[in-house]
Amino acid sequence: MKLLTLNTWQKKGPWRKRWELIFSGIKKMKPDIIAFQEIFDPQWAKEIRRKTGYRDSAFGDREAGLMFLSNLKIHDSVCLAYRAKSPSEECRRFALSVSVKKNDQPLTLFNTHLSWRPEEGAVREKQVRELLRIVGRETPGMTVLAMGDFNAGEETYEVKRMTGEGRFRDLYRAAHPAGRDLTWDNQNLFAAGASVYLPDRRIDYIFGRSSGTEQFKSLKVETVFREADAAGNYASDHFGVLAEWQEGKK
């Protein structure tokens, strides 16, 4: 199983050139399932699916900006808004879930994008609590993946709540106990040019929680879309995360 998550930076900057890099990367990496954030145009979402040739897709809604592409049939899709809302944002924040089957085993995936301001950790923590309640209600005893842009470093309470109370594994950290890769890196000129300075951090994640009989074997995780093209364009202001593992029994 191979998963990719990427915040696509809306239609900002030289976005068509950026998407050429995204499409090229997808063709090379061949992920089974992709979680995108900041896809707000439903027509563009349809075009992305057409250009990539994925079997199925799920689009949250215009406000959510969340999308899945999947080469596995999507059996169910739900988009829920968090009650917790940043006082500095007009938009709400959401979680988009899809259910698929891999080797006849059910798998549920959640795609989310939490509030962005560094000082709003308390808001993000409430959003994480809501996400965990949804996971607990919808997927008891199932293998679950939660991924996306959490806008928080791994030292924060909101991320620690995912790996503590939520019993999720941070798959990057599981594969790289001493890893120092970033997904928001000011060496990326699009990140450095943000309207508000944001420190270098790893803020994009793939979290996994196995059922009683499944585990993530031969886990490989890397940050991707790290290279600029000849003109200095990156695929996004974020780097993506790619995780691959073998399904297996304990």
- 91: helix, strand or coil: coil
Question: Is the Cβ–Cβ distance between 26 and 52 less than 8 Å?
Answer: yes
Residue type, 99: S
Residue 187: DSSP 8-state: T
Q: How far is CA 152 from CA 57, 124, 202, 250, in A?
A: 27, 8, 8, 32
Q: Are strands 2-7 and 33-37 parallel, antiparallel or unpaired?
A: parallel
Residue 205: DSSP 8-state: E
* Burial degree of 200 (CB within 10 A; 0-12, 13-18, 19+): middle
Q: Where does 58-138 have alpha helices with state H?
A: 121-138
Question: Is the Cβ–Cβ distance between 70 and 98 less than 8 Å?
Answer: yes
Q: What is the CATH classification number for the domain harbouring 209?
A: 3.60.10.10
Torsion of CA 205, 206, 211, 215, to 10 degrees: -120
Helices 15-29 and 42-52: crossing angle in degrees, nearest 10, is 40
C-alpha 100/C-alpha 205 separation (Å) is 20
Q: How many domains does the chain have?
A: 1
Reported pTM = 0.97
- 162: helix, strand or coil: helix
In order along its 250 residues, the chain shows pLDDT tens digits of 999 999 999 999 999 999 999 999 999 999 999 999 999 999 999 999 999 999 999 999 889 999 999 999 999 999 999 999 999 999 999 999 999 998 888 999 999 999 999 999 999 999 999 999 999 998 888 899 999 999 999 999 999 999 999 999 999 999 999 999 999 999 999 999 999 999 999 999 999 998 865 578 889 999 999 999 999 999 999 999 999 998 765 4
C-alpha 157/C-alpha 111 separation (Å) is 19
User: Domain containing 117: what range?
Assistant: 2-249
**HSE on the CB side for 61, CA within 13 Å?**
10
